[in-house]
Every structure is written in structure tokens, then in C-alpha cells.
């Protein structure tokens, strides 16, 4: 370094500033191409992709508008599931599709893009595509995505078929319909919804929709009232084996995109648990968590409505703007609460399992399982799927997210242990004793899982191995 | 005309002889008065008909001519109009440029004098001391992209206008700075290599931007920097510390380490420091977009800073000049005029800056609107008289962090397919490789909109001075837009769009038609001139499209 400094003044500067050569001549010869393995890694990432949207066959009929809409939404390149599924879904003649991909990897955009490309906009008042979701929030969210991606399409119309949205005498007169199965079924029965020209049926959160007693029946009935040659697209982040079997008969001879168990969790989400001395300490510990890292918005999942209200009170005292959303609220009230959260008017959302699935608020950087998810009679067994969907509310589209699950007794500890075993993951333990230490640990975990995000294997057709 | 008259004649001429009419025409009585009168009347009628036809045709013709004339006239007028419009547009553009020029001139004027002054001095001066040379290199490395950033520095530069003292004061600094940097330089490597490259590579292509003076200044500055073949002389000036930010960034790291050390021996500090840091972080995370919804948070942050200043928690006193780009002398009426401030206070400002940057990265890439309250609080805290040092803002603490996180805003550029290029663009490494593209892009989006949220604040009704005025925004925009076509990177396009979207109206409020010209340049010309088309370049015209649709702004 010393002799270099003597040789030329420019070198001295470079050395002062860092270990780099100074003259531009050297710089050129010194430039190293970004390693192929890095680019490759990008490709293996569920969000990385070699292709562009143009290459995925989107440049046929209406698509320029769709493409422009995707760009406006800042979708720069297709994600893995989009790259794989779009060409299959857009191919003619249309074929059914069952697609699984991790939470927050662009499933909604994939099927919305397909729907938008299948509709004939010259017949704007004839329903041509039907999308079903398990909750009104999710249906409205999908409706929002359709209008955003389709913002440049003239004559685009989307109807929401959710409770209270279509008057008794009215009829469904838009080309795309998004709804919950119950309402859609009623509308068809009352002849307010003409299904004769429908060509695409999308079922989001399909495992949940087909599996649950009520929803499953409704979906099957709705399907029975639709044209026989309709293209069926089933999407979810989870597809338990037995549901998948049913799904293949629901959507016969479908293309299938499936994940391996180890691929289920998004590696960008740091999963931790907090060892609370007792149930009563949880409140105070909860508030402390917000100082450990920079948090955009957060969602807290609780078991009962009562504890939701209690937590809300203590958090408001601590300066947080909090929304509480659970089944006790009426439809429009729920819409307003969720909108507040979406737009950043409130940054903490306390909710029950109502919102475990599908809701996409991109700023959510922390999910807290205040109560661990359980299922079955007497809440006896751990619920891995719900856990997965809950933590999937963060780490959307490659962002970094944190999930912290509270345990306070033997039962919750055992349940969490079982979930970790199901997913083949290790959870990081946090302790509320020394916050300086805990902070250090959290920062370390976030850093390392950011690095890990690189190594997520891809979604592969049919699943490998 | 020709078609009409013969018809009748022909019919008479060719009428068949077998018809009685012909005999009629050969009849005896053909010479009777009656027949003459008949013939006369017929001739008269024929004449009238022919004349009418002629007149009609003539009128038709005249009408057609008139039409053509009118059309021609209209076209001429239209063309004239177009020419006029063009002229107006040109004039507007020129005016806008002049406006900018004038606005900036007022700022630049103090800057120029110190510059030429030192330049001649050292040249004749025999052998400047070795240490000062290396320092000057340090500064000299940045001048290129320095463009306007330096303006602020220049203001301060004017204080040190007496060239000798200024150069002296710098050479005093190096002992504290230079070695430190060389140590860290190798370690950090991140922003460092940028400078020499910038200097070497981009000198020639840097063109004055079509609008705005930043370019004028920079080109001015450049030519000066280039002509004297010994760069040493030019860099002697205190101005170009664009990369002093990197040094400040290093110094801040050391400050944090020092606080951790101090806490080991000061139990009171240890007890409070972590809580204060977490409180600050939590508070910034609580900021909401609703107007007036953050009062409690602002109060909490100010209470923390106040606590660190009032001495109730012990911490070493340190020299704040390590954390600002300029040289400062005590200023009348300033609250803190001493040579030192409690290190805990500077530490908290640093944590505040870090948290804001992290919040931009984590939150605003996904939700750009969340940047605004953060920009407000940043401007509020860094302009607050209670937190100024020697009458001026400590905003450089925030900008040092910005310079490292988003170099593109400070004029750095690089090729994304090379390792060095990525380093220059602030692309993070994680673990063994580079961060995924999606993550990098998202981060840049958040930082870009955050920058707009900080820089585009209206201080016209505030008694305080804007710590990072809109001219900084303009300068950053200009630095990106003036990138030579071959070197335009996707990152730059992403940043450009990020800093414009949702702040376009504010930008126009500040700069009027000049802003519109700048937007045209950024959203229409810039993506068009880029040699490599990327998703980022495609995003810019789409924003133009959206602006046209939403606010009727036709670029």
C-alpha cells in the first residue's frame, strides 16, 4: 500500500477509500462478472425467473394492457409459479390446473392474469370468469388485484358476489365475478347470475375450500351448475395429500405444480418462539417485541375475541394504532377495519383465524402467534396448516419477515414442537430476561435468514424425488 | 358544359327520318313566322341553358378554389400555431432553465470564489505537505459526481473562504480521519472503490443536464478539476466531500462501538441505552399515514433526545465535526456552540437515522405512502433548533447512511453484471452471494421514495431551516438522468421511478414547469436513450402513462 501511494496520487486516494485499483484501465480489467451461480441462485428462488412476462405468451390478444398493468403494479419479472403455471394455463385448448406455491409468491397475480387473458371484453355484461375465495376479505382483495392488473383494459368489469353486495332484484352483469361460495350459489339459484358463458373457474385457497364441510359442499354444488367444459384452476400454498386426491377429481386431468414438504416454508421468514414464564406475562412481553427490530405492520393471531380486545387496550396505551378484526364484526365494518390496516392508518392488526389465509398486506413484517394454532375437538391437536398460512402473512414476495410464537406452558410447547417436526424446521428460542441479548439475537436471526432466502428450492412440476 | 348542349342538338340531328317530326322540319311551313319564333325561342332557351350551366360550373370552380384557399389558410395558421406553441414551449424551457440557474446561482456564488483561490496557491507553493496531499486525494476522489451535493458544502466552504486557513483546517483533519479510513477502507470496501472509477470513467461523458444548473456547476467544476493536470491542486479545496459521507459512516460505526464500550463502565448508561434505542425503533415503527396521528411519537422521540442532551445519563463528550461534512465555527444564537456534544446524543441521532433508513427499506418498498410520515419526522428532528450544532443541522448523519445504502442518489453508477458495478450500486451481499434481485429492487424503491419524502418538504411556514432542501432532490434526479446511455442500470431506473411516483405533485409545486421538463426528461427521454432495456426502463414510461391518466399530465 505504501509503495503504491508513492507511485501515483490517484492510487493513494483509492487506498484511502478502500481496496480497489485506482486507474480506469485497471478497473476495466478488474471488473468481475457476477458469478453464474449467483444468477442461478436467483433462478432457483421462488421469486426469481429467467423469463419475462412477454415470453410467457402474454403478448397475444388483450395482453398489452395486462402487461402494462403488471408493470404498473411493479411486477418486474414473473415469479417461479407464474413462469411455470402461466404458459400451461394460457395454452389452448384450456386445461385444468392445480398449483401449489409458497405464501406470497404471486399465485393471485398468476390466476388473475389468466382470467384477464381469457375474457372477451366485447361482451362486457356477460359473466365469463368466476373466482371463489373462502372469505369476504379475500374475495375483495382478489377483486382489487383484478382491477389493478386490469386497469388499462377498457370495458373491464368485476362484480363481487359477497353477502350484501348484490340486491335481491339485481343481476350479475360484469364479465368477471369474485365471490364466496355461499353467495354465489344463492345468486345462481335465484337466477340472478347467468353462468352459461362462463369459461374459467378459479378456486383460491383450494385445499381449505374443498376440505371444509360447508365450503366443500358449496363449491361442489356451484361447479355442478356451471358449463361442463369450463377450465378449472385450483390454487393454494398447502395441499394435504387427501385433499389433493379430491382436487384431482374436482379438476380432472389437470396439470399439477406441487411443492415438497421442506419447501413449504418461505425461508425469508425468520421463525422464532418466545418462552414466556406464564400466560399473564404475555402482554408485557408482546409490547417489548416492537423495539427489537424495525417493524412495518404486524398481525397478532389470538384464540378468543376477548383476549383480542384486552391486547388491543394494552397496545394502544403503548402508542400503537391497532385494529381488531374477528367474526363478531359485520361485513362492512370488517371491510373498513382491514382497509385501515392496508393503508397504514393502523399498523397492528389483532385477529382470529378469520384472516389466517390469503390476506396480502405487503408491509407486514411480523406475525405473532399469541396463541398457538390448534384444531379438532377441544383444541387437542396442533394445526400445522394454519400455522403455515398465518406466518405466510409476512415475508410477502421476497420480503423479510419475522414470526414469533408465544409458548407459556407444556401444552403449547408440545404443540409447537410438533409443528416444527411436521415442517422439518428449527425454531429459534428467545427469552424475555435480557432484552439487550434478545435484541442481538433477533438481529442475527434476521440477517441469517435474509441470506437463507437465497437457497429456497424451486417449485417443480409434479414434484421431484 | 360540354356534355349538356350537344344532347339536344344530337337528338334533333339524329332523330329518325321515319318520325313525323322530321317531315315537320322539312315541311312547307318552315319559313313561317311561327316556326322562326319557335326556333328563336328554342335557341334562346338553349342559350340560356348553356349560359346557366357555364355560370354554375364557374361558381362551382370558384367555390372549390375558395375552399382550397380556406384550407390552405387554415393549414398555414395551424402551422403557425404549432410554431408558436413550439416557441412558447422552448421559451418555457429556457425560462425554467434560467429560473433554476438563478436559484442556484444564488447558492453557487459563494462557492466559486474559494475554489479558484486555493487552486493557484498550492500550485506555485513548493511541495505541499505529504499528509495534505493524501487528504486532498481523499476529497478529490469524489468531485465528479459531486455535482450539486457540494452546494451545501460550498456554503460552508465560504465560511472557510480564507483559503489558507481552510486548507490548514483540512490538513489538521486527516490525522484523525485519513488513517481511520484506510483501516476501514479495506474492511468496508463497499462505497470506496466507487470514487476512483467515477472519476476516471465518467468524466468525459458527463454532460450538463438539459435543465437545471446542477450540471452547469458540475461541468464547470469538472473542467476545472480536469484541466490542471495535477488533480492534487484542485482537490485541495474543502468542497467535494461527497464521499466524506463514507467517512462519516465509518465514524458512526466507531461511535456505536464506543458507546458499547462506555456502557461497560457506566452502569447508568448501560441501564438506559438499550431501552432508549428500542424505544426509538418502536416509535418509528408506530408512525402512521394519518395526518396528526403521530403527535405522541414525535413527543416520545424528542423526549429521548432531550434526555440524552441534559446530562442525566453520563456519556463521553465527542467532537461532532466527525459527523458533518463541513467545517463549523461557533454561531451566534446557536444552542450548542461548544466543541463537543454528549456521545449518547449523537448515538441516538444515529440510531434514529438508521431506523428511518431501515423503515424505508422494510416498509416503503411495499407501501410507498408510509414514507411520508418518516420524511416529516426526519426533517422535523434534523431542523429542530435544539438539535443543531453550531447553528446547523446534523442531517449528514442521516445522509451518510443514505449514501451507503443508496449510492445511486449520489450520482454513483455501475454495471449490474459485474461485481464492482453491483458494489457501486449498493447491491447488498448476503452470506456467500448477492442478495436476490427482488430484494435489492424492493430496497431501492423504498429508499428512493424515502428520499423524496425527506427532501420535498415545505419549510416556507417554518421558522427552521430545511436541513435537506428540494434542490438536493433536483440534484439527485439530475445525476441519474444525466447518466450516459450506455451506463444506465436497472437500479437507477427503479430509484428514479421510486423517487418520482406519488411525489410528482409536490415536485411540480416546488419547481413548476421546470419540474415538468425534468419529469419529461426522466420518464420519456431517459428510458428511451438507455441502450439496454430492462424491466426498470419499461417501468418509467408506464409511470408517465399513469400520470397522464390520473392527473392529466401529458409529458
- Averaged pLDDT, A366-385: 90
Residue B474 domain-assigned (yes or no): yes
Checking if the pLDDT of A48 tops 80, the result is no
Nearest CA in chain B to A453: B436
Asked whether B397 and B351 are in contact (CB, 8 A), the reply is no
pLDDT of residue B11: 47
The helices-and-strands tally (H runs, E runs) of chain A is 18, 17
Nearest CA in chain A to B198: A24
- List, in order, residues 6 or more apart from B254 with CB less than 8 Å away: B180
> Does the beta-carbon distance from A296 to B359 stay under 8 Å?
yes
- Averaged pLDDT, A47-70: 66
Q: A214-229 burial, b for 16+ CB within 10 Å, e for fewer? A: ebbebbeebbeebeee
- List, in order, residues 6 or more apart from A155 with CB less than 8 Å away: A121, A122, A124, A175
Query: How far are the Cα atoms of B277, B342, B402, B404, B437 from residue B397, in angstroms, in the given order?
Result: 16, 15, 9, 11, 28
* Residue-number span of the structural domain to which B478 is assigned: 406-431+461-555
Asked whether A387 and A265 are in contact (CB, 8 A), the reply is no
Q: Which long-range contacts (CB under 8 A, 24 or more apart) does B157-160 make?
A: B157/B110, B157/B111, B157/B114, B157/B237, B157/B238, B157/B239, B157/B326, B158/B110, B158/B111, B158/B113, B158/B114, B159/B326, B159/B327, B159/B328, B159/B329, B160/B114, B160/B238, B160/B327
Checking if the pLDDT of B179 tops 70, the result is no
Which of B223, B238, B253 finishes a domain? B238
Q: Are residues B257 and B355 in the same domain?
A: yes
> Does the beta-carbon distance from A400 to B439 stay under 8 Å?
yes
Q: Cα torsion for B284, B285, B286, B287, to the nearest 10°? A: 60
Residues from chain B contacting residue A290 (CB–CB below 8 Å): 281-282, 285-286
Q: Which three cell numbers stand for residue B29?
A: 311551313
CA distance A107 to A459: 12
Asked whether A255 and A114 are in contact (CB, 8 A), the reply is no
The partner residue sitting opposite A345, judged by closest CB among B288, B417, B435, is B288
Q: Are residues B539 and B394 in the same domain?
A: no
Q: Which position has the higher pLDDT, B102 or B364?
A: B364
Q: Are residues B395 and B415 in the same domain?
A: no
> Does the beta-carbon distance from B439 to A398 stay under 8 Å?
yes
The partner residue sitting opposite B278, judged by closest CB among A38, A397, A435, is A435
Rounded mean pLDDT of chain B? 76
User: β-pairing, B433-434 with A231-236?
Assistant: unpaired
Residues in chain A: 465
3-state secondary structure of A201: strand
The partner residue sitting opposite B200, judged by closest CB among A24, A291, A344, is A24
Task: Report the gap between the CA of A171 and the closest CA in chain B (Å).
Answer: 31
Domain A43-258, CATH number (from 3.60.20.10, 1.10.1760.20, 3.40.50.2300, 3.40.50.300): 3.40.50.300
* SS3 of chain A: helix, strand, coil, percent, to 5: 45, 15, 40
> Does the beta-carbon distance from B192 to A347 stay under 8 Å?
no
Nearest CA in chain A to B200: A24
Residue B179 domain-assigned (yes or no): no
The partner residue sitting opposite A294, judged by closest CB among B199, B281, B293, is B281
> Does the beta-carbon distance from A451 to B195 stay under 8 Å?
no
Task: List the single best residue of B134, B367, B438 to mutate versus A (max A Cβ within 10 A).
Answer: B438
CA distance A383 to A411: 13
> Does the beta-carbon distance from B200 to A68 stay under 8 Å?
no
Asked whether B348 and B278 are in contact (CB, 8 A), the reply is no
Q: Are residues B419 and B489 in the same domain?
A: yes
Nearest CA in chain A to B373: A344
Task: Report the gap between the CA of B448 and the closest CA in chain A (Å).
Answer: 14
Q: Are residues B373 and B423 in the same domain?
A: no
pLDDT of residue A106: 86
- List, in order, residues 6 or more apart from A150 with CB less than 8 Å away: A65, A66, A69, A112, A116, A156, A158
Listed in order, strand segments (DSSP E) in B321-365 are 341-342
Interface confidence (ipTM) of the complex:
0.76
Q: What confidence category does residue B343 fall into, taking pLDDT thresholds of 50, 70 and 90?
A: very high
Q: Where are the domains of chain A?
A: 2-31, 43-258, 269-455
pLDDT of residue B387: 96
Residue B194 domain-assigned (yes or no): no
Q: Which position has the higher pLDDT, B431 or B53?
A: B53
What are the tens digits of pLDDT across the range A106-133?
899 999 999 998 999 999 999 999 999 9
> Does the beta-carbon distance from B278 to A347 stay under 8 Å?
no
Task: List the single best residue of A30, A74, A449 to mutate versus B (max B Cβ within 10 A).
Answer: A74
- Averaged pLDDT, B347-357: 97
Domain A269-455, CATH number (from 3.40.50.720, 3.40.50.300, 1.10.3720.10, 3.40.50.800): 3.40.50.300
> Does the beta-carbon distance from B367 to A363 stay under 8 Å?
yes
Q: Are residues B275 and B386 in the same domain?
A: yes
Q: Are residues B75 and B152 in the same domain?
A: no
The answer to whether the A43-258 and A269-455 domains have the same CATH topology is yes
Q: Are residues B289 and B215 in the same domain?
A: no
> Does the beta-carbon distance from A35 to B433 stay under 8 Å?
yes
The partner residue sitting opposite A31, judged by closest CB among B420, B439, B445, is B420
Checking if the pLDDT of B422 tops 70, the result is yes
The partner residue sitting opposite A454, judged by closest CB among B192, B422, B433, is B433
3-state secondary structure of B259: helix
**DSSP single-letter state for residue B190:** S
3-state secondary structure of A252: coil
Q: Are residues B387 and B252 in the same domain?
A: yes
**The total number of structural domains that make up chain B:** 4
Q: Are residues B411 and B499 in the same domain?
A: yes
* CB-CB neighbours of B168 under 10 Å: 13
Residue B540 domain-assigned (yes or no): yes
Residue A366: strand pairing partners = A298, A402
Q: Which three cell numbers stand for residue A6?
A: 508513492
Nearest CA in chain B to A53: B535
Return the minimum-mean-pLDDT range out of A433-447, B102-116, B348-362.
B102-116
Q: How many CA atoms lie within 13 A of A320 on its CB side?
A: 31
What are the tens digits of pLDDT across the range B251-277?
999 999 999 999 999 999 999 999 999
Alpha helix (H) residue ranges in A102-166: 107-118, 136-149
Percent of residues, chain B, with pLDDT higher than 90: 53
User: β-pairing, A255-258 with A460-461?
Assistant: antiparallel
> Does the beta-carbon distance from B366 to A33 stay under 8 Å?
no
Amino acid at each position: 500500500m505504501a509503495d503504491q501511494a508513492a507511485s501515483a496520487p490517484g492510487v493513494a486516494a483509492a487506498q484511502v477509500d478502500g481496496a480497489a485499483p485506482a486507474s480506469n484501465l485497471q478497473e476495466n480489467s478488474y471488473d468481475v462478472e457476477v458469478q453464474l451461480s449467483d444468477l442461478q441462485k436467483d433462478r432457483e428462488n421462488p421469486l426469481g425467473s429467467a423469463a419475462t412476462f412477454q415470453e410467457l405468451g402474454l403478448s397475444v390478444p388483450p395482453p398489452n394492457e395486462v402487461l402494462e398493468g403488471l408493470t404498473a403494479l411493479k411486477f418486474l419479472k414473473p415469479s417461479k409459479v407464474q413462469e411455470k403455471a402461466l404458459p400451461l394455463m394460457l395454452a389452448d385448448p384450456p386445461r385444468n390446473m392445480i398449483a401449489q406455491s409458497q405464501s406470497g409468491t404471486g399465485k393471485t397475480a398468476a390466476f388473475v392474469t389468466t382470467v384477464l387473458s381469457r375474457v372477451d371484453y366485447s361482451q362486457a355484461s356477460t359473466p365469463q370468469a368466476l373466482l371463489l375465495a373462502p372469505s369476504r376479505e379475500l374475495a375483495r382483495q382478489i377483486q382489487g388485484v383484478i382491477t389493478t392488473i386490469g386497469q388499462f383494459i377498457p370495458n373491464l368489469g368485476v362484480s363481487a358476489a359477497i353477502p350484501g353486495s348484490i340486491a335481491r332484484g339485481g343481476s350479475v352483469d360484469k364479465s368477471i365475478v369474485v365471490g364466496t361460495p355461499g353467495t354465489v350459489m344463492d345468486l345462481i339459484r335465484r337466477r340472478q347470475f347467468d353462468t352459461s358463458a362462463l369459461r374459467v373457474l378459479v378456486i383460491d385457497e383450494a385445499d381449505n375450500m374443498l376440505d371444509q364441510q360447508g365450503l366443500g359442499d358449496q363449491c361442489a354444488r356451484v361447479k355442478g351448475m356451471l358449463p361442463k367444459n369450463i377450465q378449472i384452476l385450483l390454487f393454494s400454498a398447502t395441499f394435504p395429500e387427501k385433499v389433493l386426491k379430491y382436487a384431482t377429481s374436482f379438476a380432472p386431468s389437470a396439470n399439477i405444480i406441487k411443492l415438497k414438504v421442506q419447501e413449504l416454508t418461505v425461508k425469508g421468514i425468520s421463525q422464532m418462539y418466545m418462552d414466556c414464564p406464564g400466560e399473564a406475562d404475555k402482554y408485557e412481553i408482546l409490547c417489548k417485541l416492537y423495539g427489537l427490530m424495525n417493524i412495518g405492520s404486524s398481525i397478532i393471531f389470538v384464540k378468543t375475541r376477548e383476549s383480542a380486545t384486552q391486547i388491543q387496550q394494552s397496545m394502544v396505551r403503548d402508542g400503537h394504532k391497532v385494529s381488531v378484526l374477528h367474526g363478531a364484526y359485520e361485513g362492512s365494518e370488517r371491510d373498513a377495519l382491514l382497509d385501515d390496516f392496508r393503508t397504514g392508518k393502523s399498523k397492528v392488526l389483532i385477529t382470529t383465524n378469520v384472516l389466517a389465509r390469503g390476506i396480502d398486506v405487503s408491509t407486514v413484517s411480523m406475525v405473532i402467534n399469541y396463541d398457538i394454532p390448534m384444531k379438532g375437538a377441544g383444541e387437542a391437536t396442533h394445526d400445522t396448516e394454519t400455522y403455515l398460512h398465518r406466518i405466510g402473512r409476512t415475508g410477502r414476495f421476497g420480503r423479510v419477515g419475522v414470526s414469533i410464537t408465544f409458548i407459556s406452558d407444556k401444552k403449547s410447547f408440545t404443540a409447537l414442537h410438533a409443528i416444527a417436526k411436521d415442517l422439518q424446521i428449527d425454531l429459534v428460542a428467545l427469552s424475555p430476561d435480557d432484552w439487550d441479548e434478545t435484541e442481538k439475537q433477533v438481529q442475527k436471526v434476521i440477517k441469517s435468514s435474509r441470506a437463507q432466502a437465497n437457497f429456497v428450492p424451486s417449485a417443480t412440476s409434479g414434484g421431484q424425488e | 358544359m360540354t356534355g349538356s348542349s350537344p344532347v339536344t342538338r344530337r337528338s334533333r340531328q339524329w332523330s329518325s327520318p321515319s318520325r313525323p317530326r322530321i317531315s315537320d322540319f322539312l315541311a312547307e311551313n318552315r319559313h313561317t313566322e311561327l316556326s322562326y319564333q319557335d326556333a328563336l325561342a328554342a335557341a334562346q332557351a338553349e342559350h340560356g341553358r348553356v349560359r346557366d350551366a357555364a355560370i354554375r360550373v364557374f361558381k362551382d370552380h370558384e367555390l372549390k378554389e375558395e375552399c382550397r384557399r380556406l384550407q390552405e389558410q387554415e393549414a398555414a395558421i395551424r402551422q403557425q400555431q404549432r410554431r408558436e406553441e413550439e416557441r412558447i414551449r422552448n421559451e418555457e424551457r429556457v425560462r425554467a432553465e434560467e429560473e433554476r440557474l438563478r436559484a442556484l446561482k444564488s447558492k453557487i456564488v459563494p462557492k466559486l470564489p474559494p475554489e479558484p483561490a486555493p487552486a493557484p496557491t498550492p500550485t506555485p507553493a513548493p511541495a505541499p505537505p505529504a499528509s495534505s496531499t493524501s487528504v486532498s486525494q481523499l476529497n478529490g476522489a469524489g468531485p465528479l459526481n459531486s455535482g450539486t451535493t457540494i452546494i451545501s458544502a460550498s456554503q460552508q466552504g465560504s465560511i472557510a473562504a480564507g483559503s489558507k486557513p481552510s486548507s490548514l483546517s483540512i490538513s489538521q483533519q486527516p490525522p484523525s480521519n485519513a488513517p481511520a479510513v484506510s483501516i476501514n477502507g479495506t474492511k468496508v470496501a463497499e462505497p470506496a472503490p466507487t470514487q476512483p472509477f467515477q472519476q476516471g470513467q465518467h468524466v468525459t461523458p458527463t454532460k450538463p443536464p438539459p435543465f437545471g444548473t446542477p450540471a452547469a456547476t458540475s461541468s464547470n467544476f469538472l473542467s476545472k478539476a480536469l484541466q490542471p493536470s495535477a488533480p492534487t491542486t484542485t482537490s485541495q479545496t474543502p468542497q467535494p466531500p461527497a464521499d466524506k459521507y463514507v467517512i462519516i459512516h465509518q465514524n458512526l460505526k466507531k461511535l456505536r462501538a464506543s458507546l458499547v464500550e462506555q456502557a461497560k463502565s457506566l452502569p447508568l448508561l448501560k441501564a438506559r441505552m438499550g431501552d432508549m434505542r428500542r424505544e426509538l425503533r418502536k416509535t418509528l415503527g408506530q408512525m402512521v399515514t394519518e395526518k396528526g396521528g403521530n403527535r405522541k411519537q414525535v413527543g416520545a422521540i424528542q423526549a429521548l433526545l432531550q434526555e440524552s442532551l441534559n446530562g442525566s445519563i453520563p456519556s463521553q463528550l465527542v467532537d461532532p465535526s466527525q459527523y458533518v461534512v463541513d467545517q463549523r465555527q461557533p454561531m451566534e444564537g446557536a444552542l450548542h456552540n461548544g466543541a463537543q456534544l454528549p456521545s449518547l446524543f449523537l448515538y441516538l441521532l444515529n440510531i434514529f437515522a438508521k431506523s428511518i433508513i431501515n423503515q424505508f427499506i422494510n416498509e416503503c418498498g411495499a407501501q410507498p405512502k408510509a414514507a411520508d410520515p418518516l420524511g416529516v419526522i426526519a426533517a422535523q428532528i434534523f431542523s429542530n433548533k435544539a438539535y443543531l450544532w453550531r447553528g446547523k443541522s446534523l442531517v449528514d448523519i442521516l445522509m451518510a447512511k443514505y449514501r451507503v445504502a443508496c449510492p445511486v442518489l449520489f450520482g454513483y453508477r455501475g454495471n449490474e453484471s459485474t461485481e464492482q458495478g453491483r458494489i457501486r450500486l449498493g447491491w447488498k451481499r448476503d452470506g456467500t452471494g448477492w442478495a436476490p434481485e427482488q430484494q435489492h429492487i424492493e430496497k431501492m424503491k423504498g429508499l428512493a421514495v424515502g428520499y423524496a419524502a425527506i427532501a420535498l418538504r415545505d419549510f416556507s411556514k417554518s421558522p427552521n431551516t430545511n436541513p435537506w432542501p428540494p434542490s438536493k432532490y433536483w440534484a439527485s434526479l439530475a445525476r441519474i438522468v444525466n447518466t450516459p446511455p450506455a451506463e444506465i442500470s436497472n437500479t437507477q431506473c427503479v430509484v428514479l421511478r421510486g423517487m418520482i411516483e406519488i411525489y410528482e405533485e409536490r415536485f411540480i409545486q416546488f419547481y413548476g414547469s421546470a419540474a415538468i421538463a425534468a419529469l419529461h426528461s426522466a420518464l420519456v427521454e431517459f428510458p428511451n436513450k438507455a441502450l439496454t432495456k430492462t424491466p426498470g426502463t419499461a417501468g418509467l414510461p408506464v409511470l408517465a402513462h399513469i400520470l397522464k391518466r390520473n392527473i392529466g399530465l401529458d409529458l
